[in-house]
Amino acid sequence: MERERKFSNPAENAQAVYGIHAVLEALDSGLELNKVLIQKDIRNEQFDLIVNLCKKKKVPFQFVPRDASAFNANQNHQGVVAYVSPIGYYKLEDLLPQLFEEGKTPFILLLDRITDVRNFGAIARSAYCAGVDTIIIPDSGSAQVSEDAIKTSAGALLKIPVCREKNMKSTMELLNQSGVQTVACTEKANKDLNFVDLTIPTCIVMGSEDTGISTEVLKKCSVLARIPLNKGVASLNVSVAAGIAVYETIRQRM
């Protein structure tokens, strides 16, 4: 059964919403928000309400200085701005059972703290072309689905389900407990990726551009594997590495 894609026109929704009442309305309306920025030297009842709604609806929020560049675009920001997502995010706990019910062998890609929008978009494009079932990203400390990311992905981010999860440790545990092997692509591994059986339910885990996979996530991975490199080459660009890992999975499954 094909899942209905939840997204709107990015030209209409990849935008910022300024002002207390506008942000409250956006939160109440159920719009998918990438994040909310709140001026940190202002605290009142309305700001507390915004914070509580963000927590309730699991919307990432951050306190920022008054002179933050996000506020410069609008003189009537009232100390708060929300960024509307062009898509609707999925929850892994809902999507994963559907994949098994559809008789699929889940093929998942988890991106741990990848911050460069161009890398994110390029990875999403490769993932969609290769038939990856879903991409998992953290709700903070990571590139989100923005208009720029969609452009870089050549529209793939409008077609592939993206799960945005708050707790990566719990996400890894859910995958492992559901019978999905979690394969960390890391130069710290002793085993080459082509010697890992990727024909079974698999989640490929890719780490950030500068520090790789976080210790917390790496500890939860069931398999550590490396992409073979010539001597003297430390690592690959993460979008290139992700493409190699994804197509090694496809090669084995063919």
- Domain ranges for the chain, please list them: 10-84, 92-253
Q: What is the pLDDT of residues 145-203, one digit of tens each?
A: 988 899 999 999 999 999 999 899 999 999 999 999 999 999 888 899 999 999 999 99
| Overall average pLDDT of the 125-131 stretch | 96
pLDDT, mean over the chain: 89
Segment holding 107, helix H or strand E: strand 107-111
Q: Is the pLDDT of residue 88 over 80?
A: yes
Q: What is the pLDDT of residue 9?
A: 35
Q: What is the pTM of this model?
A: 0.81
Q: What is the 3-state secondary structure (H, E, C) of 168-203?
A: HHHHHHHHHHCCCEEEEECCCCCCEHHHCCCCCCEE
Reduce the DSSP state of residue 37 to 3 states and report it: strand
* Topology, domain 10-84: 60s Ribosomal Protein L30; Chain: A; (3.30.1330)
Distance CA 131, CA 215 (A): 28
User: Domain 92-253 class?
Assistant: alpha beta
